[in-house]
Amino acid sequence: MSLSPVEGVALAEIESGGDAEAPERKGVVGRSPGQLAWARLRRDRTAMVSGGMLVLFMVLALAAPLIQMVYGIGPREQFQHLLDGFGMPLGYAGGVSGDHWFGLEPGLGRDIFIRLIYGLRTSLFIAFAAAVITATIGIVLGTLAGYLGGWLDAVINWITDLTLAMPFLVIALALTPTLVLRFYGEREAVSPAFGVGVLIAVFAIFGWTSTARLVRGQVIALREREFVEAARASGAGLGHMLFRQLLPNIWAPILVSFSLAVPQFITSEAALSFIGVGLSDETPSFGRMIYRSLDYLQTDPAYVFFPGVMIFALVFAFNLFGDALRDALDPKSSR
């Protein structure tokens, strides 16, 4: 097929001025959207400070047995000789001293500092496990509902609505002892690990809906995008569509929702323990400590202070970091 000469020249002229479209940059390896977000996060002071705090908390939690060795006191050791006749710790601010940095629990006389360290461990473990499980369930159901649509979408949506209609705290409250009773007899001792497992299971049952909703919405928005159609036009199967085309584009909101779900689970775990159904008294937990401390509110205010501030700092750091992460991943959003 021949071009007419005149036309050819005219178009050739345009062509010659053409490829200066994009600024040439040194190096041919491009920076992925993920790398760009990471760079933004690195520049964000709040993110770095809160991230540092989180790392510190995690190290403390992981190194709890090591800290116990150095500190020399275990979480279940009782120091009755440091309590007065009413079970109140001797000395100032709940018995704060060189040996007991945050003082002692009234009544049982256990060391608050080491119990907080172990409580951190419990709290973070439960929260992360629950967040990972709920994110997985949410991603799977959300992608399937959003991508396949139809009756599957309707069913998953209905289950989501149903789960949201269940009063979480009351059901969790009632379900936990029921489950314990199911597997243990009335007077049998319940192993602490079982209590933790039940808590995680309850969180998993009720916690997946928000991720599923988020993912479903994102997938529906992406489903009609042309790059997804391009893959379909090339004959891509379901697996390729979901894992290669769709998921890489929604990990940012998933990551943000994950980072904000962790503090929520920390709060929920503490709340359940506070009500007194989460964990047995043996397992160190923030919620449990605060619940016990309410009885001593007038006589030993320091007891409520340490766990309260600790859990605040933990949740605060997570929330700050989650916000910063959102800003880094989606620079357009204004918070």
Of 37-66, binders to other proteins (CB under 8 A) are none
* Other CB atoms within 10 Å distance of the CB of residue 7: 9
* Nearest-angstrom CA–CA distance, 64 and 75: 10
* Tokens coding 274: 């506070």
Among 137, 149, 275, 280, which residue sits at the site for other proteins (rule: CB under 8 A)?
Answer: 275
* Nearest-angstrom CA–CA distance, 105 and 261: 31
| Interacting positions 61-100 with other proteins (CB under 8 A) | none
Among 65, 72, 276, 331, which residue sits at the site for other proteins (rule: CB under 8 A)?
Answer: 276
x/- track of binding to other proteins for residues 5-44 (CB under 8 A): -xx--xx-xxx-xxx-xx--x--xxxxxxx----------
Tally of CA atoms within 13 A in the half-sphere of 118 that contains its CB = 21
- Least distance CB 317 / other proteins (angstroms): 8
Q: Is 297 in the site for other proteins (CB under 8 A)?
A: yes
* Nearest-angstrom CA–CA distance, 153 and 155: 5
Choice between 15 and 70, CB closer to other proteins: 15
* Nearest-angstrom CA–CA distance, 47 and 40: 10
- Least distance CB 66 / other proteins (angstroms): 28
* Nearest-angstrom CA–CA distance, 129 and 152: 27
How far, rounded to the nearest angstrom, does the alpha carbon of residue 291 sit from its chain's CA centroid? 24
Q: Which span (37-45, 65-73, 134-142, 241-249) binds other proteins, by CB under 8 A?
A: 241-249
- Least distance CB 37 / other proteins (angstroms): 11
Q: Is 225 in the site for other proteins (CB under 8 A)?
A: yes
Among 236, 253, 255, 330, which residue sits at the site for other proteins (rule: CB under 8 A)?
Answer: 236
Choice between 134 and 264, CB closer to other proteins: 264
| Interacting positions 169-208 with other proteins (CB under 8 A) | 169-171, 173-175, 177-179, 181-182, 185-186
Choice between 95 and 287, CB closer to other proteins: 287
Question: What are the C-alpha distances in Å from 114 to residues 31, 63, 167, 187, 276?
Answer: 45, 11, 34, 29, 21
Amino acid at 172: A
Among 39, 56, 66, 166, which residue sits at the site for other proteins (rule: CB under 8 A)?
Answer: 166
Provide the H-helix boundaries in 224-279. Answer: 226-233, 238-239, 247-275
Q: Which span (73-81, 98-106, 137-145, 287-295) binds other proteins, by CB under 8 A?
A: 287-295
